[in-house]
Amino acid sequence: MIPVANPLAQYLAHRAEIDAAVGRVLASGRYILGPEVGALEAEFAAYVGVRFGIGVASGTDALVLALRAAGVGPEDEVITVSHTATATVAAVELAGARPVLVDIEPDYYTLDPARLEEAVGPRTKAIIPVHLYGQPAELGPMLEVARRYGLRVIEDCAQAHGAVYRGRRVGAWGDLGAFSFYPTKNLGAFGDGGMVVTDDPELAERVRLLREYGWAERYVSAVPGFNSRLDELQAAVLRVKLRHLEADNRRRAEIAARYEAGLAGTAVRPPRVRPGATHVYHLYVVRSARREELRAFLARQGVGTAVHYPVPVHLQPAYRGRVRVVGSLAGTERAAREVLSLPMYPELTDGEVEAVIAAVRAFGGDACD
């Protein structure tokens, strides 16, 4: 079976470097918020193109702490999308606010900026554009709306490490950016981890306080806070993998180009790339009106797939009636019925890529536009 993702393959690709980094931490006696975390924070912030990075325990925590640092809390509303990992919407509720959901652009699966302004109300405090699957959202119009209404912009970059929009990496555009280091991400740890990035020193300091009980000095809480710390072992692993991120993203783009050429004229529609943006293909997501048939067929051919995401957040039992939906989410609901993720990770061999293409072509069916 060719898996849809394979974190073990990345460990094996960089095993000597990773083992050395882990050994260095184990021998140091420092395991929480030590020099490895500090070094990763500086290196990753420089990579994104901002001044500050603050390591936290997960991508969800990165969103929660970013929202809290931006002053979002009870009685506030935050605009985002329903076609996303549940973590995006869960983070809004964990910050005490109410999610407001709008539809996506059908070609790019990200928040439709044309639907944004109608969602702004008297309680709106922030916007969370989600750079889904590695595709940058259309940030320009969103930032204009945010400036007009005095809203914070918090980028959900959990799936877009290294993606570029109009010449700058995602995470460097909004007031804050939130990244996940879940093992399958383009930059993944061997456990949970996350980071908040920002150019604003005051916001950076608020996130630092919030991640560790609000301590300005040890054991003295200046503000109510959390326990959300990135540990030294994960930071050391991530520092190794960060050195390879650009090469890995280039390989992902090569695989995507092979898929696009090989799948032309088949019953699936390959992803489209936003003009002026660089897609980093965290996931390679195709569309098919016969998705479930295709998925079962590919499984029989030894090709793993996944659905990101099968149920929009506004239709999930936990959130039905709890979120505010603005306008029709027809694009979101159609995407949930049709999207399918094919295998995508840098260690895929050319032979495996060709095997996936051959399996999709063997499925047959009418060409998808």
- Tell me the C-alpha to C-alpha distance, in Å, between residue 25 and each of 35, 227, 238: 9, 21, 13
- Looking at CATH, the fold of the domain delimited by 7-242 is given as Aspartate Aminotransferase; domain 2 (3.40.640)
- Tell me the C-alpha to C-alpha distance, in Å, between residue 106 and each of 78, 82, 120, 167, 265: 22, 13, 21, 24, 20
Q: How far apart are alpha carbons 244 and 241 in whole angstroms?
A: 5
Task: Enumerate residues 6+ apart whose C-beta is below 8 A from 347.
Answer: 6, 9, 10, 12, 13
Among candidates 107, 105, 132, 131, which has minimal Cα distance to 116? 105
Backbone angles phi, psi at 208, to 5 degrees: -60, -40
Expressed in angstroms, the distance from the first to the final Cα of the chain is: 29
Among candidates 132, 117, 76, which has minimal Cα distance to 99? 76
Give residue for tokens 């109608």: 118
Per-residue confidence (pLDDT) for residue 69, from 0 to 100: 98
Q: Is the peptide bond before 345 cis (omega within 30 degrees of 0)?
A: no
Per-residue confidence (pLDDT) for residue 51, from 0 to 100: 98
Give CA 223 to chain center in angstroms: 29
Q: Does the structure show a pLDDT above 90 at 31?
A: yes
Q: What is the mean pLDDT of residues 226-242?
A: 97
335: tokens are 């995407």
Q: How far apart are alpha carbons 201 and 18 in whole angstroms?
A: 32
Among candidates 147, 347, 129, 320, which has minimal Cα distance to 241? 347
pLDDT tens digits for range 147-189: 999 999 999 999 999 999 999 999 999 999 999 999 999 999 9
Name the strand (E) or helix (H) holding 248: helix 245-263
Q: Does the structure show a pLDDT above 90 at 196?
A: yes
Amino acid at 230: L
Q: How far apart are alpha carbons 158 and 312 in whole angstroms?
A: 18
Kindly report the length of the chain: 369
Q: Does the structure show a pLDDT above 90 at 142?
A: yes
Q: Where residue 366 falls among pLDDT bands split at 50, 70, 90?
A: low
Q: What is the mean pLDDT of residues 278-283?
A: 98
128: tokens are 């969370």
Domain ranges of the chain: 7-242, 245-363
Mean of per-residue pLDDT scores for the chain: 97
Among candidates 331, 286, 333, which has minimal Cα distance to 305? 286
Q: Does the structure show a pLDDT above 90 at 259?
A: yes
Instruction: Give the pTM.
Output: 0.97
Q: Where residue 321 falls among pLDDT bands split at 50, 70, 90?
A: confident
Among candidates 220, 245, 239, 158, which has minimal Cα distance to 195? 158
Residue 220: strand, helix, or coil: strand
Amino acid at 247: A
DSSP 139-181: HHHHHHHHHHHT-EEEEE-TT-TT-EETTEETTSSSSEEEEE-
- Looking at CATH, the fold of the domain delimited by 245-363 is given as Aspartate Aminotransferase, domain 1 (3.90.1150)
Determine which of 15-19, 264-268, 277-281 has the lowest per-residue pLDDT on average: 264-268
Per-residue confidence (pLDDT) for residue 368, from 0 to 100: 62
Per-residue confidence (pLDDT) for residue 364, from 0 to 100: 81
Query: Up-side HSE of residue 32: CA atoms within 13 Å toward CB?
Result: 6
Q: How far apart are alpha carbons 307 and 343 in whole angstroms?
A: 11
Q: Does the structure show a pLDDT above 80 at 369?
A: no
Q: What is the mean pLDDT of residues 227-233?
A: 97
Q: Where residue 367 falls among pLDDT bands split at 50, 70, 90?
A: low
